[in-house]
Chains A and B, each alone.
Chain A
Amino acid sequence: MTAAVSWSTAHAGPVPLQDAIDGLASASDDTITESVTKLGALDDPRAIPALDALMDDRLRLGADSHAYIWDSKTHDARDALTGQVVNAPRPLKEVEVSNEIRRAADPVLAQLHLGSPDAEVRLAAAKALSTAGSDQAAALLHRALARERDPKVHEALALAIARVDLASPDPNARLAALDIIARSANDDFLSTLQQMLAPGDNGAPREPDGRVRAAAAHARDAIVSHQHLVGFVGELLHGLSLASVLLFAALGLAVTFGLLGVINMAHGEMLMLGAYATYTVQTATHGSRFYLLAAIPVAFLATASVGVLLERTVIRHLYKRPLETLLATWGISLGLIQTIRLIFGAQNVSVANPDWLAGGVEITHGLVLPWARVGVVGFVVVVSAAVWFILQRTRFGLQVRAVTQNRAMAACLGIPTKRVDALVFGLGCGIAGLGGVALSQLGNVGPELGQSYIIDSFMVVVLGGVGRLAGAVAAALGLGVINKLLEPLSGAVLGKILVLVFIILFIQRRPQGLFALKGRLET
């Protein structure tokens, strides 16, 4: 009954709007595109929910050939115009959209959103319209510009209008548009400007007015120099992000290898265990939003206890026998990989980014930093600071440094060297576990995860100087940035090779690494 009532009121109201919305739920792509264009011409924001539903695969075609919005959570059908829950005649057929339709609907949706009370929504709409949109939207843009108060949205709208004005027959309008474009330095306009400046078919420039040509050349140069700047800053930031990954891979090793001198070939597997701990927490909490925060202590404790166990059972018998340690830890690494394979399967497992780490932050036009990478950089800073604090400012740290510098003397002074050894090894492994939590957000999590990081981590520790935390930080930073600066020049494959060659040459010249331990005992 309610359904019938709501239908009759809907029909009594805006017939063309209702028709256009019903046209969205069509089996034919052409009808959908046509209806989208109609909705653009009607310019009625009441069409927004239906268009949104179309883009998200939520629009359904009822048996009465009306459009309905499907709510997959409550399993309700809503009227596409009024948004009321109605008893839609079944079967409801899914409406499938293609990119062709999405390309037509994007500017229409943006245009409808121009009237939104939310400044953020208006800004996104104006940005979308500055790259696409029909020329007839120009009048709407002018109207929107006149009533816009928010300066950011104002700027974006002016740019959207400038795009339309570039094709204006009035040279003054073109000049004004070019001025706005030059100030925005938005590289979406680059090819249009290049076309304006290029000679046309008859040999004369496409742009007849000399002043406009000069302004276009100026705008082009502004865009190109902005592009260079963005490119360079982008590479530095990407380098920083790679450096944080390298540092996470190496930090734990800097403790176990650097301080204890244990060549731990199973270090990569500690990263892997940390990543699997994250996966386990994710599964146990059913993908809760904050599973990642819970995973941090779990991963640390799990890998640290595996580390202490290893030290107590295997490694302590092998101190001062580096070759045997190497072989034993290699064997442990194979064992751990196989154990994980038996428990979780040989396939990669999927660790999802929580929604607060998905997407990215736009630093400037054309440069987006994904939140996941920003998060890893922040996390590595916190963890490095914590490790530094533990080693330099706590009683335990003092004992560790005493033991590593002179074991016999430390033992004489009553420091329980064996306990310190076990705890340091556990700490190193725990840090690697934290690295695993971070890496699980960027790459794949599989049993062989550690294998792809083990060489990188030894590289960082040895380059930085064994036993120096600051060295590891500097080496990771240097390697990350150099790698990213080389990549655009030489490609990803050759870039990696060049970095390895560089390290070999560097170690030949300076075997002690970047930072060497100074002290009487070193000689």
Chain B
Amino acid sequence: MRGNQFVMFLLASTLVAACSKSEAPAPAPGAAPAAPAAAAPADDKGPIKVGILHSLSGTMAISETSLKDVALMTIEEINEGGGVLGRKLQPVVVDPASNWPLFAEKARDLIQNQKVAVTFGCWTSVSRKSVLPVYEELNGLLFYPVQYEGEESSWNVFYTGAAPNQQAIPAVEYLMGKKGGSAKRWVLLGTDYVYPRTTNKILRYFLHSKGVTDDDILEKYTPFGHSDYQTIVADIKKFATGKRTAVVSTINGDSNVPFYKELGNQGIKATDIPVVAFSVGEEELRGIDTKPLVGQLAAWNYFQSIDNPTNKAFIDKWMAYVKKNSLPGGDKRVTNDPMEATYIGIHMWAQAVEQAHTTNVDAVRQAVGYQHFKGPDGFDITMDAENHHLHKPVYIGEVKGDGQFHVVWKTEGPIKAEAWSPYIPDDKGKIANWLYPWACGNCTAAKFGGQAVTASK
């Protein structure tokens, strides 16, 4: 009798958990009101609609909310400068609520019903993989602003975040070097989904190529939103006895807070076991007491602490925008890498639209390749027309007591992204090149080669 009741609770509670995630919350204060569902079709006189697809609630809200804010700021900046093609940009903000299938639904809604010209959005790779078929089916255009695992190049996506050779590989090389502490053992710790799994696969092959054996690699995964890191931190401590050990963290979202808290409480210092994170930046550190984390590392293509006039202007603009719209957090708000990538992405798209003289996706796509933009990271950033990725500089920073980063290593200039990792044996020879005669994101021979061309679908 009681047992039957229990089965009912289980059913009901899973149902509730599933449903409550898919209910769409009201837009956060400060968000532009979403346009009504039945919008008039885009004409050549009215505003150009631009979709913004970031989680404003759920486990990823900690990271994605500020991307929505910076996108709105950039759109406002462009509008104040006269808009694009003499037309204003009109942002359409939706909240996929850290729910991966909902990302696909919202993306379809943006393209089909809202008729947006372009979408800026997604953080986790699982959300990008979820919307990818939608953009490819409907020939939409997506700018993805976050570092990711590579192994992808889509005709419909421009990647303004780093590929593994622009973030993960240099970070591991740094920790192997004398300056980074000559690590001999590696803990690959991540949230359980495609980005950490693929990145760690690449890193494992990379470490093998550097002579590290499997005995010296510990790979661990936790679910999204995991909050009990006692056992994992104890395991790391045990694994680290003897050999110099470094932790490579691909933990995403708000799990980082309990993870770093546990590290601090258990007394692990960066000089003993350095932790390099690929998804922790200034924004994620905002919610934590950074004193115990001083010296822990992050690898990015931009830090707020980079000193150059472009970055100063970018930060000033952001702080003024935060103040004007009284965004939560106020003067404690910060800039970070994905925000910079969002900013560059929107500007590059606007430049391409000006150049193509239309918002037509096919024309704009051709124009986005080769676009230049003076980035807050201090370099003239170029979009690679071949693989749809940005050329980016790499910075490695250590956490300071004030939650900012002290840059301890950087590349001399921007480096080209490798969409397909040369370290994975299965991917050897794979090419992402959207220019003639290749015209594909994943092939080993040119599509329009000299010989008989058989379209291999």
Contacts and interface: CB of A to CB of B under 8 A. Distances in A.
Interface of A: 56-57, 96-100, 102-103, 106, 187-192, 194, 227, 231, 234-235, 238, 241-242, 245, 263, 265, 322, 326, 330, 333-334, 337-338, 341-342, 345-350, 352-353, 358-360, 362, 366-368, 370-373, 442-444, 446-448, 451-452, 454-455, 458, 462, 466, 484, 487-488, 491-493, 496, 504, 507-508, 511-513
Contact of A458 (B13, B178, B232): B13
A521 to B, nearest CB: 14
Interface string B206-245: 0000000000000011110111101110110110011100
Pairs A-B, 5 closest by C-beta atoms: A191-B242, A511-B3, A370-B265, A443-B227, A346-B57
A253 to B, nearest CB: 11
A507 B58 CA distance: 32
Interface in B244-275: 254, 257-258, 261-262, 264-267, 270-271, 274
Contact of B242 (A56, A190, A348): A190
Interface residues of B, number: 77
Nearest to A465: B2
A98 B408 contact: yes
B242 A512 contact: no
B237 A487 contact: no
- Say what secondary structure dominates the interface of chain A: helix
B254 to A, nearest CB: 5
Given A338-B25, A342-B26, A234 B234 contact: yes
Contacts of A508: 3
Nearest to B268: A368
Interface of B: 1-7, 9-10, 12-14, 16-17, 20, 23, 25-26, 28-29, 56-58, 61-62, 65, 95, 178-181, 192, 220-223, 225-228, 230-232, 234-235, 237-238, 241-243, 254, 257-258, 261-262, 264-267, 270-271, 274, 286-289, 292, 294-295, 297, 328, 398, 400-402, 406, 408
A451 B17 contact: yes
Given A98-B406, A347-B328, A370-B265, A265 B3 contact: no
A366 B237 contact: yes
Given A98-B406, A238-B230, A511-B4, 8 more contacts: A56-B401, A57-B294, A99-B295, A190-B241, A231-B238, A347-B62, A366-B238, A504-B10
A276 B12 CA distance: 26
A340 to B, nearest CB: 11
Contact of B401 (A57, A330, A448): A57
A54 B230 CA distance: 31
Contacts of B265: 358-360, 368, 370-372
Contacts of A462: 2, 5-6, 9
29 contacts: A97-B406, A99-B295, A187-B241, A227-B241, A238-B231, A242-B228, A263-B12, A265-B16, A338-B25, A342-B26, A345-B328, A346-B28, A346-B61, A358-B265, A359-B267, A360-B266, A368-B267, A442-B227, A442-B228, A448-B57, A452-B225, A458-B13, A488-B235, A491-B220, A492-B221, A492-B232, A493-B221, A511-B3, A511-B6
A392 B212 CA distance: 62
Nearest to B25: A341
Nearest to A467: B2
A341 B180 CA distance: 42
Contacts of A337: 20
B20 A451 contact: yes
A51 to B, nearest CB: 14
B167 to A, nearest CB: 19
Contacts of B65: 346-347
A274 B294 CA distance: 31
B337 to A, nearest CB: 19
Given A353-B261, A443-B258, A265 B227 contact: no
B254 A446 contact: yes
Contacts of B254: 348, 444, 446
B20 to A, nearest CB: 6
Nearest to B226: A492
A235 to B, nearest CB: 7
A484 B226 CA distance: 14
A352 B4 CA distance: 42
B223 A492 contact: yes
B181 A103 contact: yes
Nearest to B15: A330
Query: Which among B4, B7, B288 has the highest number of chain A CB atoms within 10 Å?
Result: B7
Nearest to A357: B265
A333 B258 contact: no
A454 B271 CA distance: 40
Contacts of B232: 492
A350 B287 contact: yes
A358 B230 CA distance: 15
Nearest to A189: B242
A334 B406 contact: no
B73 to A, nearest CB: 17
A100 B179 contact: yes
Contact of A488 (B57, B227, B231, B237): B231
A350 B226 contact: no
B338 to A, nearest CB: 16
B344 to A, nearest CB: 24
Contacts of A191: 241-243
A479 B346 CA distance: 50
Contacts of A57: 294, 400-402
B176 to A, nearest CB: 14
A372 B230 CA distance: 12
B2 A513 contact: yes
Contacts of A245: 228
A103 B20 contact: no
Contacts of B10: 455, 458, 504
A477 B278 CA distance: 36
Contacts of A496: 223
B13 A265 contact: yes
Given A99-B270, A455-B17, A492-B232, A263 B261 contact: no
Contacts of B271: 99, 102-103, 106
Contacts of A491: 220-221
A265 B10 CA distance: 11
